[in-house]
Structure 1
Amino acid sequence: MGRKHAADIAAPSRHGQGAEQVAATAGPPTGRASCCRSWPALPLDNGHDHVGAVMTSADRSAVQLTHPDRVYWADAGVTKADLADYYAKAWPRMAPFVTNRPLALLRCPEGTAGQCFFQKHAWRGHAREVLTVQDPNDNSEEPILAIDSFDGVIGLVQGAALEIHPWQAALADLEHPDQIVMDLDPGEGITWQDLIDGALEVRTRLEKAGLQTFVKTTGGKGIHVVAPLKPVTGWNEVKEFTKAIADDMASDSPDRYVATITKSKRVGHILIDYLRNQRGATAIAPYASRARAGAPVSMPLDWDELGPSIGPAHFTVNNAANRFGMTDPWKDFRKAEVALKLR
């Protein structure tokens, strides 16, 4: 049997509560004795402004990792414990983008070499720090998943969640998205520079609409352009706004862009995927790992960094922590939110 790791602080589990109730009651973890190794999250008093995070050097995960040496990415030599270590370092910056919002997961119990599958609902035996929340609009009555603490993300690691995909809305208000994600997905024959040029055009169009934009690699082939919103506009209006951006780009430059997901039309084109901006849709979280070769992660960038020296899968579980001593390019993300002005 594999070794077990545990730690000092446990987050309460609130299975089956409504979304607004979990969001309202989310708070710091409560103490619990430890027996083995712990995963400390980086302290916030190191001179760097981490967006909205509340972790301190005393925080630990109470989640026990069974078989911590299980290999999740054989080609990169990354184990379950390595992924937990990475998230401990990333947590102060990652927390605001994954806590207290619905999550979809890509789980790979045998690592990337085995079968992977998407999971949007609770599963038998998940860590109690992984919360279950009832979506009032889901007639299936199957609870959706969420986390509200560092314990939660380590619970996801224990559950072999190699990808974390949040909604574009918080549990406190599921009917009003608080961000837009424009996903630029390259078709065959598209270069990285083509993709960069497309991201810059999306940026220009969103900023003309009064939105401030942020950019990140996806850890896959694409680029995400993200704009924070005040959560006052409904899903239908946000989807129609983003569809109009994508349609306009495809209409203005039909040789470069498409706005439909039909694969036959995507060769030599960039798909401007606006469908991330509808109720229940998700996008890979900032700093989250991807179940792809090399253990890449989705990395927030400064717009000035977007260039040929940083490719789509440049940052990995093994090297991404080198950035955490640098200024956070997304530190003002929430400060930049504005109400969407509809056309």
Structure 2
Amino acid sequence: MASEAVVITVPGPNGDREVRISSPSRVLWPELGITKLDLANYLVAVGDAFVRANGDRPVSLERFPEGVGGEVFFSKNPPRGAPDYVRAVPVVYPSARSHPQLVIDEPAAAVWGAQMNTIVFHPWASRAENSDNPDQLRIDLDPQPGTDFSDAVPAAIELRKVLAEAGLDAFIKTSGNRGLHVFAPIEPTHEFQDVRHAVIAAARELERRMPDKVTTNWWKEERGERIFVDFNQANRDRTMAGAYSPRALAHAPVATPVTWDELETVNPRDFTILTVPDRLATVGDPWEHFGEKPGTIDQLLGWWQCDLDAGLGELPFPPDYPKMPGEPPRVQPSRAKKD
């Protein structure tokens, strides 16, 4: 029986690559009938912007062999049979173990990811050759029950002001769901825990300015109907869907960079695999110049120290992390009260 596989041509910095796509008619998004080949063609169309945003970084692949709604697993190490243009670098995980992690250097590597049934690409906040020191400060604005994207917008606008006061130039993208991701390029001179503390300092300042709208409470029972500033996304080996990465939701959304001027008028549901290539071709890439003027986290670390001096200490880490210095007890407040 003849194979259904097709070969597509992927332009890149090293010339054209021929990437084989097996089972191209496999439907990954059933509601829209979007196939594996459609995903590969999408990544070709957005290839330059995708690599600019996610390339030269350790990346985890979130793979869906049966499409959205089916089995899902993550790949971090390069699987056997990876082409020679897909490289890996050693990284250290929170457990202190070190393993090689995939790196995307050109659009063909992203298309190869699609061949491996990858839907969501999760890049680290650090570069491949300096993986211990992030060059991006990332803040996840996560709407809680009772809030939505429209509630995250004013929080993002105020957060931009907070970061500007700390000397940082903020960029923004949709999460691909209901939230927003605010990024700022930084000099890679501090390790992850320092950057986490800088994020907490910014989050606390935002919370002071918008106490009824924003929260840094880690425990869900304490968040209320507010936007949660997820500081733990700044930890080592914690990632967000990369810019221009698809998301595994029924309407095939894409985590999409937007300009600050358009933020208050965009609808994140409009950004999908079917629409983003045309947007990129007509509007351009709002993150094209990301990273050209990195700042430092020195001012934010000064704020962190001021909060420490005022009695505000460390915040909880994710449950799979080792116990960290200064961390409060990992027990939800209602259970602690009962105990």
What's the TM-score once normalised by structure 2's chain length? Answer: 0.81
Q: In the alignment, does 2:72 pair up with 1:116?
A: yes
Residue 6 of structure 2: aligned partner: 5
Tell me whether 58-67 or 278-287 shows the greater mean CA deviation: 58-67
Change in 2 beyond 3 A, CA 1:237/1:141: closer
CA contact (8 A) 1:188 1:266 kept: no
**1:143-187 residue CA offsets vs partner (Å, 9 max, x unmatched):** 222222222111110111100010000011112111111110001
Q: In the alignment, does 2:108 pair up with 1:151?
A: yes
CA contact (8 A) 1:101 1:147 kept: yes
Of 36, 42, 46, the residue aligned with 1:86 is 42
Q: In the alignment, does 2:154 pair up with 1:197?
A: yes
Q: In the alignment, does 2:231 pair up with 1:261?
A: no
CA contact (8 A) 2:86 2:103 kept: yes
Residue 9 of structure 2: aligned partner: 39
CA contact (8 A) 1:5 1:64 kept: yes
Instruction: State how far apart, in whole Å, the 2-side matches of 1:154 and 1:97 are.
Output: 15
CA contact (8 A) 1:61 1:150 kept: no
Change in 2 beyond 3 A, CA 1:180/1:331: same
Instruction: State how far apart, in whole Å, the 1-side matches of 2:71 and 2:284 are.
Output: 38
SS at match of 1:115: coil
Q: Percent identity?
A: 31
Of 271, 288, 311, the residue aligned with 1:315 is 271
Aligned-pair CA distance for 1:125: 5.0
**1:48-105 residue CA offsets vs partner (Å, 9 max, x unmatched):** xxxxxxx46x843332111111111111221111111111110111112222211112
Paired residue type of 1:103: V
SS at match of 1:185: strand
Instruction: State how far apart, in whole Å, the 2-side matches of 1:125 and 1:295 are.
Output: 28
Paired residue type of 2:127: A
Change in 2 beyond 3 A, CA 1:255/1:113: same
Tell me whether 313-322 or 230-239 shows the greater mean CA deviation: 230-239
Of 20, 28, 42, the residue aligned with 1:64 is 20
Query: Across the two proteins, how many residue pairs are aligned to each other?
Result: 297
Instruction: State how far apart, in whole Å, the 1-side matches of 2:165 and 2:229 are.
Output: 17
CA contact (8 A) 1:195 1:270 kept: yes
Q: Any stretches of 5+ residues in structure 2 without a counterpart?
A: 303-339
Residue 327 of structure 1: aligned partner: 284
Aligned-pair CA distance for 1:335: 1.1
Q: What does 1:210-229 correspond to in 2, within 5 Å?
A: 210-229=167-186
CA contact (8 A) 1:256 1:270 kept: yes
CA contact (8 A) 2:10 2:18 kept: no
Aligned-pair CA distance for 1:294: 0.9
Instruction: State how far apart, in whole Å, the 2-side matches of 1:110 and 1:189 are.
Output: 32
Instruction: State how far apart, in whole Å, the 2-side matches of 1:297 and 1:332 are.
Output: 20
Q: In the alignment, does 2:242 pair up with 1:285?
A: yes
SS at match of 1:254: coil
Instruction: State how far apart, in whole Å, the 1-side matches of 2:256 and 2:165 are.
Output: 25
Q: More helix per residue: 1 or 2? A: 2
Change in 2 beyond 3 A, CA 1:119/1:264: farther
Instruction: State how far apart, in whole Å, the 1-side matches of 2:3 and 2:62 are.
Output: 23
Change in 2 beyond 3 A, CA 1:211/1:124: same
Change in 2 beyond 3 A, CA 1:126/1:76: farther
Change in 2 beyond 3 A, CA 1:2/1:140: farther
Instruction: State how far apart, in whole Å, the 2-side matches of 1:277 and 1:228 are.
Output: 13
Change in 2 beyond 3 A, CA 1:59/1:72: farther
Change in 2 beyond 3 A, CA 1:88/1:174: same
Q: Any stretches of 5+ residues in structure 1 without a counterpart?
A: 7-37, 42-54
What's the TM-score once normalised by structure 1's chain length? Answer: 0.80
CA contact (8 A) 1:182 1:224 kept: yes
Aligned-pair CA distance for 1:118: 2.8
Instruction: State how far apart, in whole Å, the 1-side matches of 2:267 and 2:273 are.
Output: 15
Paired residue type of 1:4: A
